Amino acid sequence: MFKETTFNVYQASQSIIHKLDPRVKILGAVGIILSNVLLPDGAWLAFGISFIALVIMVLLAGIAVSFVLKRSLVALPFVLVAITILFTLPGEPLVSFNIFSWHLTITDAGLLRFTSILVRAWISVQAAIILTATTRFPDIGHGLRHLKIPLVLIAILSFMYRYLFVLSEEATRLIQARAARSASLPDSPKPPVRWQAKNAGNMVGQLFLRSYERSDRVYNAMVARGFQGQFLTLTPHTMVSADWFGLAIILSMLSLIQIIGHFF
Amino acid sequence: MPIIHEPQPETKINLSENGPILEVQNLHFSYPDGHKALNGITLQLQEGHKAALVGPNGSGKSTLMLNIIGILHGSGVRKINGMAITEDNLPLIRSQVGIVFQNPDDQLFSPTVFEDVAFGPLHMGCSEDETRQRVIEALAMVNMSEYINRLSYHLSMGEKKRVAIATVLSMKPDLIILDEPSAGLDPRARRSLINLMNELPQTLLVATHDLLLVREILPRTIILDEGLVVADAATEEILKNTHLLENHGLELPV
Amino acid sequence: MNHSPAPLHIPDGFLNIVISVAFWLATILIVGLAIRKSKATLKERHIPLMGIMAAFIFAAQMINFPVAGGTSGHLLGGALAAVVLGPWSGILVMTSVISLQALLFQDGGLLVMGANIFNMGILTALIGYGLFQIVKNQDRGIQFAGIAAAAWLSVLAGALTTSFQLWLSSTSPAGLVFPAMLGVHLLIGIGEALITVAAFAFITQVRPDILRPQSAEGNGKYGWVIVGSIISLLVVLISPFASTDPDGLERVAENLGFLGQAQDTPFSFLPDYTIPFLGETEFSTIVAGLVGIIIIGLIAFFIGKAVQKPAPVEEHTHSN
């Protein structure tokens, strides 16, 4: 179900990380993720340094470690997709065991590959979490604009962000209204899936029409304030010394990590 | 940090200093589906007037308001500051007439309060500095200065309504139209909104069902029913006339 | 926040760099086209309509219905978006949904976003709209059947490409990822089909006029039919083959020459001062050296900017 707090990915604070230009933070997060993917399997020293760098950032930003850890679990389900590589990549067998009627053997190559994937994914998702925890979404939008992402895309994302809460609330109300009318007596049969799907489809259709008509009203409000088709915006961020230093540090770190990862 | 005021270029045309700000004559309008919403509306608003627009639902209030800001185009005379509304001068018209819609979620469409209040001036062609200046002034007028960097979806209904008014104030219009401003507000927010509206220097046209609000701050009342103006007089007179009120689906709370 | 139905949002770290970049390129091209085409049809209403429709899809993904044994079906929405909004707008809306989910909620990675958008936003729209065009002018029953098939296939297509991407990145073996992904999504697709048809039926019943503008977007409708049909055909043919004969799949890939490249070790950037694909030649050594010089140059540039006196404030008003 939906709660207002699910949108609270941003943790307000006055740390130096928070004050960094959003461009720097976006490039930093993408940089770490890219660096991870470019490191070969088993580059434990390099992965370790990346991780420590993130920990330092979390501490500097004043975010609770538990917050980051809890949100990093979002990548967990996909681990199941990768887990079979433990057994199927050819290599030296390490340990065997039996589950039901299957005889499974974990190979060294498989273990290396699996744990590398895991570490990469975990570090990457944490970098992204730190980005959103220290940068409000409108500022991420401005940062992307500075980085030359087309304004049309940013504008659409801004509108989407603005109305995410409103429409999600409407969807929740529809779901609650349905729940309130979904009584059932102990022995009565459950309604068929087709009927349930039809109700759900009606709700989706209802939400669609409300949203469509709302967009007409929003358009009128824009037009009433002078909108003529050309979307204008202010970009209030300028790079200061701290931001350039930040970039220099990030690039140096990532190069160091790459060198260590490939040669040691 | 000192704020430097830059002299504003004259963007408005005042053809006659003493003419009405709003002039509507024999305005008719039908929707595409055939429904005739306005059947010959005639009214005038002088500068400084604060008028209420009342009437039952479906009487044509919304249609009239959308005609006045040029989103809908009926037949008949519509003039703002003596200037007729045509397809070509819509941007100019919209710099002189502002409308605060009923649902603030429709009006506040930007992620932050600052960006919403800045939208009007920015699209009017104001420079970045001028825009910032106007945002600060507008938010101060509605007592929402500390909210300048807040995210719009976080605000309460009362706060949103105030910011919605600020989004129009930053455009410095001569006439402000408000659609059901007190709807959905708790008593405290309503009180604060009424006080705010009372202090606005602009000419106001307020569509509302809230007759107590009308009695308190709007000296003139226009009753609309079935697309026609059925009464246009001092509020005191109209509210005394219970027969008139009843005939047009209105009721004064005791 | 994870309320998208299908486990198709790939996180970072699961795909190798070559695949990520390849799909990013494809996605950028197609989305760029979608922006232009969509704007040409919708004009001034473009931005608010697309934004709010994207929020709608996001919210609609919350609406569930019980399927069996405690599981519930949800809407992914790609096919529905394309059918009611037109193909280009549908692609744009789904792109927004997927990028916001990744950016804000880490539902899907940043580097792999190109692949995610392709799988869930582009393919779904192509199949959805393409097949809808075939049945558009038939009577209700056939229309609904067509839309149901389109929705089901769109989910399957997303699962198929996701499986390919995971297999080629050596994240999951063919023998397991294909049957697992496709099997699961065969069922999930049924939920998608049911709810998409029901939503479409509701919309066309209450506001049939809404669907009319979007037919202008997909002009040249035979092109869409062809594209949609070809993709659907590929999905229908490859899926069972991949699921039941993974060894066959690997053999085909080896013969085509790209299995060894992608699978043995993940793409290693600059090992031993060389760049793969160029082999151990002097040329690759020079390129590696150049990359090093560029990086050092950039760092020097950043430090230079950092110690510089700030420039006078410039006007910063951006417009599109």
Query: What is the ipTM for the molecules in this complex?
Result: 0.90
Q: Give the relative orientation of helices C46-60 and A193-224 as an angle to the nearest 10 degrees.
A: 150
Model confidence pLDDT, tens digit, residues B40-93: 999 999 998 999 999 998 889 999 999 998 889 999 999 999 889 988 888 888
How close is the nearest chain A Cα to the Cα of C281, in Å? 19
How many residues belong to chain B? 254
Residue C181 tokens read as 């992904």
Q: Which residue of C has its CA nearest to A91?
A: C264
* Cβ proximity of B41 and B27 under 8 Å: yes
Higher pLDDT, C285 or A153: A153
* Cβ proximity of B220 and B233 under 8 Å: yes
* Cβ proximity of C198 and C107 under 8 Å: no
Model confidence pLDDT, tens digit, residues A153-187: 999 999 999 999 899 989 988 888 887 777 767 77
Would an 8 Å CB–CB cutoff place B105 in contact with chain C?
no
Q: What's the pLDDT at A5?
A: 57
Model confidence pLDDT, tens digit, residues C165-177: 998 888 888 888 8
Q: Which residue has the tokens 């038939």?
A: C138
Measured between beta carbons, which residues in chain B are less than 8 angstroms from residue A136? Answer: 151
Domain boundaries, chain A: 4-135+238-263
pTM score: 0.84
Residue C180 tokens read as 């697992």
Q: d(Cα C6, Cα B192) in Å, to the nearest integer?
A: 48
Would an 8 Å CB–CB cutoff place C48 in contact with chain B?
yes
Residue B8 tokens read as 């504003």
Measured between beta carbons, which residues in chain C are less than 8 angstroms from residue A218? Answer: 48, 52
Half-sphere exposure of B37 (CA within 13 A, CB side): 20
With cut-offs at 50, 70 and 90, classify the pLDDT of residue C282. Answer: low
CB atoms within 10 A of CB B46: 14
For the domain B22-247, what is the CATH superfamily, name and number?
A: P-loop containing nucleotide triphosphate hydrolases (3.40.50.300)
Q: What's the pLDDT at C233?
A: 85
Model confidence pLDDT, tens digit, residues C76-126: 999 999 999 999 999 999 999 999 999 988 889 999 999 999 999 999 999
With cut-offs at 50, 70 and 90, classify the pLDDT of residue B141. Answer: very high
Q: Which residue of C has its CA nearest to B125?
A: C317
- Segments of A48-110 assigned E as strands: 93-99, 102-107
Mean predicted confidence (pLDDT) in C205-215:
74
Does B97 score more than 70 pLDDT?
yes
With cut-offs at 50, 70 and 90, classify the pLDDT of residue C311. Answer: low
* Cβ proximity of A217 and A163 under 8 Å: no
Burial class (CB in 10 A: 0-12, 13-18, 19+), A247: buried
Q: Which residue has the tokens 């400084």?
A: B48
The A residues from 22 to 51 touching C (CB cutoff 8 Å) are 29-30, 33-34, 36-38, 40-41
Write out residues in chain A with pLDDT < 50, as ranges: 1
Q: Which residue has the tokens 């976080």?
A: B154
Q: Given an 8 Å threshold on Cβ–Cβ distance, is C317 in contact with B109?
A: no
What is the DSSP annotation of A186-242? TTSPPPPHHHHHHHHHHHHHHHHHHHHHHHHHHHHHHHHTT--S--EEE------HH
With cut-offs at 50, 70 and 90, classify the pLDDT of residue C146. Answer: very high
Q: Give every CB contact of residue A44 below 8 A, 6+ residues apart in sequence.
A: none
Q: Among A77, A208, A245, select the one facing C7 at the smallest CB separation.
A: A77
CATH of domain C17-263: 1.10.1760.20
3-state secondary structure of C34: helix
Would an 8 Å CB–CB cutoff place C317 in contact with chain B?
yes
Q: Among A138, A141, A225, select the one facing B119 at the smallest CB separation.
A: A225
For residue B110, give the DSSP letter.
Answer: S
How close is the nearest chain A Cα to the Cα of C134, in Å? 22
Measured between beta carbons, which residues in chain C are less than 8 angstroms from residue B109? Answer: 48
Q: Among A158, A159, A218, select the one facing B106 at the smallest CB separation.
A: A218
Q: What's the pLDDT at B221?
A: 94
Does B161 score more than 80 pLDDT?
yes
Q: Which secondary-structure segment (H or E) carries B36?
A: strand B36-45
